[in-house]
């Protein structure tokens, strides 16, 4: 029997299509993300993972389909609009200003003001609160970002995203250039966000990371959805088979699995 206790999706994408000239990047793709869930989005380099997420955040405009946030139909024309709806995306390059310090980067473009002047005390205090909320190990909010390791720079990028109080955070290849220790810290941070009810989507080629923290994994192949599975019901070998074969026959969906 179906599980009737399943909550409504925080994000639902229905029948998403996108073409770049003659290249059909996405074909009738569906995606659901539930509150507090960590969803791994996987596939080869031409699968359409980043394109799908850029459509979700308003960086690209869809050609067809529908997006719902908490059950409400939306059409984001820019990342600013998706941010206002509680969706943040952290890119591989982190988009930080290396010559500025941690506190300045966390509140980049929106430094708190006191009259005509920046309220530095409030900014650094608030930045420190965000970092402590994430249990992030950064020596000082006054430290220049360019002096930080790749892992700590990523932590600052996540802290900046969290300072907007998002409901959904998307991470694009978050562990691609991190050391083993930095990767472990990042995965711990993701689990901390999950405890706080923040839903997350990880675009990654590293299945080991998705299996370490994820609840569910979804596979795209040549711009098409080919299946999703609950992490507890599958293993890396099976997911790799789905990625390679790209056929729905190999891809029992999570919804189907729930009904068995």
Q: What is the pLDDT of residues 16-69, one digit of tens each?
A: 999 999 999 999 999 999 999 999 999 998 899 999 999 999 999 999 999 999
Residue at which a domain ends, from 115, 137, 165: 165
| CATH code for position 230 | 3.40.50.300
The answer to whether residues 173 and 61 belong to one domain is yes
Q: What per-residue confidence (pLDDT) applies to 254?
A: 52
Same domain, 142 and 50: no
Please tell me the distance from the alpha carbon of residue 144 to that of residue 140, in angstroms, as a whole number.
9
Q: Which helix (H) or strand (E) holds 215?
A: none
Question: Do residues 158 and 192 share a domain?
Answer: no
Q: How many domains is the chain partitioned into structurally?
A: 2
Q: For 162-175, what is each residue's pLDDT tens digit? A: 888 899 999 998 88
178 shares a domain with 78: yes
Cβ-contact 190, 183 below 8 angstroms: no
With helix as H, strand as E and coil as C, how does 64-129 read? EEEEEECCEEECCCCHHHHHHCCEEEECCCCCCCCCCEHHHHHCCCCCCEECCEECHHHHHHHHHH
Q: Which of 122, 137, 165 is the last residue of a domain?
A: 165
Cα distances from 202 to residues 22, 37, 141, 222, in angstroms, run 28, 11, 27, 18
pTM assigned to the model = 0.86
Range of the domain at 75: 8-86+166-259
202 and 243 inside one domain: yes
Same domain for 210 and 116:
no
92 assigned to some structural domain: no
Question: For all residues of the chain together, what is the average pLDDT?
Answer: 89
- Of 118, 135, 165, the last residue of a domain is 165
Confidence of residue 260 (pLDDT cuts 50, 70, 90): very low
Are 72 and 171 contained in the same domain? Answer: yes
Rounded distance between C-alpha atoms, residue 230 and residue 258, angstroms: 9
């Amino acid at each position: 029997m179906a599980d009737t206790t399943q909550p409504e999706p925080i994000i639902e994408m229905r029948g998403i299509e996108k073409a770049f000239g003659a290249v059909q990047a996405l074909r009738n793709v569906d995606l659901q993300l539930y509150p507090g869930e960590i969803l791994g989005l996987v596939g080869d380099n031409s699968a359409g993972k980043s394109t799908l997420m850029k459509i979700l955040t308003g960086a690209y405009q869809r050609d067809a389909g529908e997006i719902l946030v908490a059950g409400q139909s939306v059409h984001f024309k820019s990342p600013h609009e998706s941010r206002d709806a509680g969706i943040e995306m952290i890119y591989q390059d982190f988009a930080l200003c290396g010559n500025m310090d941690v506190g300045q980067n966390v509140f980049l473009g929106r430094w708190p003001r006191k009259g005509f002047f920046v309220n530095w005390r409030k900014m650094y205090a608030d930045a420190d609160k965000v970092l402590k909320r994430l249990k992030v190990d950064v020596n000082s909010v006054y430290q220049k970002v360019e002096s930080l390791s790749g892992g700590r720079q990523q932590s600052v990028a996540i802290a900046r995203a969290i300072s907007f109080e998002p409901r959904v955070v998307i991470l694009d290849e978050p562990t691609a250039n991190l050391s083993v220790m930095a990767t472990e810290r990042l995965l711990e941070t993701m689990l901390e966000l999950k405890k706080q009810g923040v839903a997350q989507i990880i675009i990654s080629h590293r299945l080991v990371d998705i299996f370490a923290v994820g609840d569910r994994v979804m596979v795209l192949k040549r711009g098409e959805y080919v299946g999703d599975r609950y992490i507890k019901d599958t293993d890396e070998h099976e997911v790799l088979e789905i990625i390679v074969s790209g056929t729905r026959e190999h891809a029992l969906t999570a919804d189907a699995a729930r009904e068995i």
